[in-house]
Amino acid sequence: MQTSIKPTYTEAEIIEGCIKGERKFQELLYHTFSSKMFAVCLRYSNEYAGAEDLLQDGFIKVFKNIDKFRSEGSFEGWIRRIFVNNSIEYFRKKANLYVVQETEALTYEYYDDNAIQKLMKEDLMKIIQSLSTGYRTIFNLYVIEGYSHKEIGEMLNITEGTSKSQLARARYLLQKKVAEAMPNMGFNRASEEAK
């Protein structure tokens, strides 16, 4: 049974309705943000079913904590932080995220950065999802979410150096996978030939 939802509710009315536990406002909130938050979940999960679980769990946390939103910053940003933190917490419990330890001055040969722009969004998402959980998490936090290495280190209980080295490795692996996916696009293969 689908309910008719008045499309002119303000954000404050939706939040207040959710605080009161009114189902129509919860449905409106869910339908408003579910596709964007599912995209966040997909970036942290390497499988569709795992992303669905993260989405469900994330909305449970949003509804449980919505009374804590203080209108400081955007509501969507507040929701997004819940989903990012939920994803990190889930994978921290499930897997050993950080098997790569800090190393001194890692250098990687990079492939052509323009290659990523030539890929379809869905193809790039699949390549990102193929990274190990640790690399994928740090790549998402730094590149997509915009956290600094210091913030990532604090969130994940690792050093800034570890965050930096894992990001460098993640970028290298992504560019290598892009090059493998698109062999006729003129990538720099010097590092491959040197092996």
Summarised one tens digit per residue, pLDDT across range 88-107 is 888 777 655 444 444 444 44
pLDDT by residue (tens digit) across 25-47? Answer: 999 999 999 999 999 998 888 78
pLDDT by residue (tens digit) across 50-88? Answer: 899 999 999 999 999 999 999 888 999 999 999 999 998
Classify residue 128 by burial, with Cβ atoms within 10 Å: 0-12, 13-18, 19+: buried
pLDDT by residue (tens digit) across 147-181? Answer: 999 999 888 889 999 999 999 999 999 888 888 87
Q: What is the mean pLDDT of residues 7-32?
A: 92
**What is residue 119's predicted lDDT score, i.e. its pLDDT?**
55
Tell me the residue type at 192.
E
Residue 189 pLDDT level (bands cut at 50, 70, 90): very low
Q: Which CATH number fits domain 114-193: 1.10.10.10, 1.10.3210.10, 3.90.550.10, 1.20.58.100?
A: 1.10.10.10
C-alpha closest to that of 140 among 150, 154, 125: 125
114-193 and 11-94 share a CATH fold: no
**What is residue 121's predicted lDDT score, i.e. its pLDDT?**
67
Domain ranges for the chain, please list them.
11-94, 114-193
What would the 3-class secondary structure string for 61-101 be?
HHHHHHHHCCCCCCHHHHHHHHHHHHHHHHHHHHCCCCCCC
**What is residue 71's predicted lDDT score, i.e. its pLDDT?**
85
What does CATH list as the number for 11-94?
Answer: 1.10.1740.10
C-alpha closest to that of 46 among 87, 78, 98: 87
Say if pTM beats, i.e. exceeds, 0.85. Answer: no
pLDDT by residue (tens digit) across 108-148? Answer: 444 445 555 555 667 777 888 888 888 999 999 999 899 99
